[in-house]
Amino acid sequence: MRPILFQIGRIPILSYGFSLAIAFVLCTILGIREAKRRGIDPEKVFDLALYVCISAIIGARLLFVLLDIPTYFKDPVQIFNLRDGGLAYHGGFIAALIVGIAYARRSRLNAWVMADIIAPLIALGYAIVRIGCLLNGCCFGLPSDAPWALACRAGDSTLRHPTQLYAALLSLVIFIILYANRDHKRFPGYLMFLYVGLYSVSRFIVEIFRDVPRLIGPLSVTQLASILLVFGAFASIYVLSSEPVERQSAAGQQ
């Protein structure tokens, strides 16, 4: 593990934070390029990226703290300590979604079209950040004797499932699928629904190997949430795909 990637003078550059920065810069560049291709003002996309990034970090941290609130009651200052990660993805996704929709409406952008642009980039950014998790030694897997097992928990030499890599690879596959379908002819927002469905499937699989508390039998809280999201996302795709094209077009203009 390498929590500190390198130093600039006396300033440590943390692997997790560096991966977040790389993900933000790369995904923003790709988002601006896609916006130009679709005739959308790139400056608005850049502003949207800033708002989404900030809100995602706040939302992810807030949910992480709420899930372990007794610990943070004892030492509230630790709420602001992001050195060791401590971000819950679903909280960040929900916060970013709310802020993104609000910004799109205020800026008179088609929220669903923007969702189609952003969906592949979320998958790519997630894959990059999971590499940061591996270097940081968080989000680790269960002990394993698999040939590819790694000592991927900070401060622990036990060989484990490198679930950070599992998540990164699956998210990269999702990115490829979504990017290949960016010119789809379905309803506006299709790629975002598809992302939620595919991500939830991949997260359910990764959670099987993660070292996390189990809520009901072998299932974790995240797996239960993933089951609901899978059915919700693909049911929405089925219903919206069945609507008349005229109604879809009208909805897309809102």
- Ordered per-residue pLDDT tens for the chain, 254 residues: 788 888 888 888 888 889 989 999 999 999 999 999 999 988 888 899 999 989 988 988 888 788 777 777 777 776 776 665 577 887 888 899 899 999 998 988 899 999 999 999 999 999 999 999 999 998 999 999 999 999 999 889 999 999 999 999 999 999 999 999 999 999 999 999 999 999 999 999 999 999 998 989 999 999 999 999 999 999 999 999 887 654 454 444 44
What total number of domains does the chain contain? Answer: 1
Contact, 179 vs 122, CB < 8 A?
no
Predicted local distance difference test score (pLDDT) of residue 252:
46
- Range list of H helices, the chain: 15-37, 42-67, 69-74, 89-106, 111-136, 163-180, 190-209, 221-242, 245-252
For residue 174, what are the domain limits?
4-252
Please give the C-alpha separations between residue 246 and each of 186, 187, 251, 252, in angstroms, as whole numbers.
Answer: 12, 10, 9, 10
**Residue 191 in tokens:** 């790629």
